[in-house]
Amino acid sequence: MRDASAADGSPATALRQYAPLLFRFLLNRLRRSDVTYAEDLLQQVFLRFWQSPQRELVRKPDAYLYRIAEHVLSEFLLRRSRSLVTFDSETVEQLADEPASGGDWREGIGDQAALEQQLERVLAQIPPMYRAVLILSTRDGLTYAEISKRLNITEKTAKTYFSRALACCRAADWNR
């Protein structure tokens, strides 16, 4: 990395010189999933650097910027991890116990009562959380983000539970 003593020391020069490297540094620490957060954190790093009253005394701005980036990132991760996660067992049980009531997808099918019995039997074989995610997605039309907020799970977990619930439905014996 170039030493800033060779540069003119202006904020614009620092931005051009260090922004791409710091952005990759932040993005790697965020596991390459949060580009928007990495951009926001990079902006915060440069704001802290430029607002520093002793900015001119820094001998190695790259090391100083990386240290600021580490602090900004750790503060961000700490704030994000402090968000409370609560498990609402009543909602899960209520959704798991509710049969999938009426829907347009059943129109035109002959024996609706038999189909409802088969569906209830198959849904009863699925674990409660999988069933809750499946019902919220198919019956209520919620997105994975909405399901994750409602059940207090991550969005990735909601996707996983949905795919596993579908796999259980596909594996079930529908002709009994």
Boundary of a domain, candidates 40, 59, 81: 81
Rounded average pLDDT over 83-107: 62
The per-residue pLDDT for 159 is 92
Specify whether the CB–CB gap between 138 and 119 falls below 8 A: no
Domain boundary among 81, 99, 127: 81
Compute the distance between CA of residue 45 and CA of residue 51 in angstroms, rounded to an integer.
Answer: 10
**Three-state SS annotation for 69-93:** HHHHHHHHHHHHHCCCCCCCHHHHH
Query: CA torsion sign, 158 to 159 to 160 to 165?
Result: positive
Do 33 and 63 sit in the same domain of this protein?
Answer: yes
pTM comes to 0.42
Q: Are 120 and 106 in contact (CB under 8 A)?
A: no
Structural domain ending residue among the three candidates 81, 116, 150: 81
Q: Which residue range forms the structural domain that includes residue 15?
A: 4-81
6 pLDDT above the threshold of 50 = no
Q: Which residue has the higher pLDDT, 101 or 24?
A: 24
In a domain, 121, yes or no: yes
User: What pLDDT score does 156 carry?
Assistant: 93
pLDDT reported for residue 109: 47
Q: Using a pLDDT cut of 70, give the percent of the chain over it.
A: 76
User: Token match 């619930």: residue?
Assistant: 165
Q: Calculate mean pLDDT across residues 74-84.
A: 77
Q: Are residues 138 and 165 in the same domain?
A: yes
pLDDT of 167: 86
**pLDDT tens digits, one per residue of 25-77:** 888 888 766 788 888 888 888 888 888 887 777 788 788 888 889 999 888 88
